Structure 1
Amino acid sequence: MALPRENNSLTYAEYSKLGEEVQYEVIDGRIYNMSPSPNVKHQSIATELLTEFNLGLRTTSCRVIAEIDVCLCGKEDTTRTNEWVKPDIAIVCDKDKVKKNRIAGAPDLIVEILSKATAKTDRMIKFNRYQKAGVKEYWIVDPAHETIDIYVLENNFYSHAGTFANNETADVNISDGLSINLENIFREDF
């Protein structure tokens, strides 16, 4: 199958047939080609966040999943699904949303780790789409400044819960009592 241009439509079923080496996100009908592999700092931050989330949520019904396709609309029929994203981390607390190769429906929490290529999309386009889809909590991680902006959905709109720096602790709002020490996330081991 020929690779689609940005103005062509593409269903999730068609996308699934392209093969694992082709990675796209489709938001509001626009196709976004995924960036090249993230750098070491990006991957290290993602790994540390995954570790902290997994440890904190292990005894709950929530699943922490990295880099999986998320079909925000929740449709079961992939031939009718024409929008999906691939966040760095998704936390899903409703097991019915977890499918074999994707998440069908809005996760409870999404984390996006910024890069030069994705900053505008993550801060604006995905922010608005996640808000519209009902993602309860959205974390935007800025590796360059070692900060995390946390947004919590209140009355269908994101409220900025705060900007948290390397030496602070950030509460995970979807889980009572879970907080993450950001010194563990922004470690400088290399």
Structure 2
Amino acid sequence: MAVRKEKQQWTYKDYMNLPEEVRLEVFDGDIMNMVPSPTPAHQRVQRYLLACFSNYLSGKTCEVFGAPIDVCLFAEKETAPSAIKSWVQPDLLVVCDKEKIGDHYIVGAPDLVIEILSPSTAKIDRVVKFHLYETAGVREYWIVDPLNEYVETFLRGENGFALKNIYANEDTVEVGIFPDLQIPLNQIFMSK
């Protein structure tokens, strides 16, 4: 099904009426990204990180989710779908507040968001989504670049996100919100 990008003021209610295979990210009623299928390299990175976080969070309060899942960053549980005009689909996210996990989407800011870059999404992930996640109150944000084999991590401070570190393919990422979790990157970027 073709989706007209120029439709005036998309709402989550409009989106819910589209076929399930249509994936959109919308900011302030305008489509910012019609999400393409991920590449094999993207899928490898996502699968590995999802397994790392799933294993670590087993039996804990926080929960990890992988795309596709909608996150309505600026909504509340009581917000009607017709009033939601912004949502994103991060590649991976961790939510520690069970009240934010709705029946159809995540409500409010996740604790950790990870975006895996692709040529078609790099600008959106680095600029638009960076700002959205920062404004919404996400505690930690990662940008993973499978092509150049590095991970940038940002932690929320008093004035928004601050770069914590840049990790290369042989490094081990220290997860800011979970100080006892470290993820070796050599597994992520092992083969293309």
Whether the 8 Å CA contact 1:4–1:10 is kept in 2: the answer is: no
Matched, 1:169 2:186: no
Whether the 8 Å CA contact 1:109–1:136 is kept in 2: the answer is: yes
Aligned mates of 1:13, 1:75 — CA distance in 2: 15
1:18-97 aligned within 5 A:
18-67=18-67, 68-76=69-77, 77-97=80-100
SS in structure 2 at match of 1:159: strand
Whether the 8 Å CA contact 1:74–1:97 is kept in 2: the answer is: no
1:102-113 aligned within 5 A:
102-113=105-116
Q: How big is each residue's C-alpha offset from its partner over 1:11-44, in whole Å with a ceiling of 9 and x where there is no partner?
A: 1111011121211101244212423211111100
Q: How big is each residue's C-alpha offset from its partner over 1:76-104, in whole Å with a ceiling of 9 and x where there is no partner?
A: 32111110000100110000101122101
Q: What TM-score results when the alignment is normalised by the length of structure 2?
A: 0.93
1:158 aligns with 161
Aligned mates of 1:89, 1:60 — CA distance in 2: 17
Whether the 8 Å CA contact 1:74–1:106 is kept in 2: the answer is: no
Q: How big is each residue's C-alpha offset from its partner over 1:121-149, in whole Å with a ceiling of 9 and x where there is no partner?
A: 00000001100000000000001111000
Aligned mates of 1:135, 1:56 — CA distance in 2: 20
Q: Give the AA of the match of 1:70.
A: V
2:185 aligns with 182
Whether the 8 Å CA contact 2:25–2:35 is kept in 1: the answer is: no
Mean CA deviation greater in 33-42 or 102-111: 33-42
Superposed displacement of residue 7, structure 1 = 5.9
Alignment RMSD:
1.6
Aligned mates of 2:94, 2:6 — CA distance in 1: 29
Whether the 8 Å CA contact 1:75–1:104 is kept in 2: the answer is: yes
Superposed displacement of residue 4, structure 1 = 4.0
Superposed displacement of residue 74, structure 1 = 2.6
Whether the 8 Å CA contact 2:26–2:86 is kept in 1: the answer is: yes
Identity %: 43
Aligned mates of 1:94, 1:186 — CA distance in 2: 31
Aligned mates of 1:50, 1:107 — CA distance in 2: 15
Q: Give the AA of the match of 1:75.
A: E
Aligned mates of 2:108, 2:91 — CA distance in 1: 16
5+ unaligned residues in a row in structure 1: which ranges?
none
How many corresponding residue pairs? 189
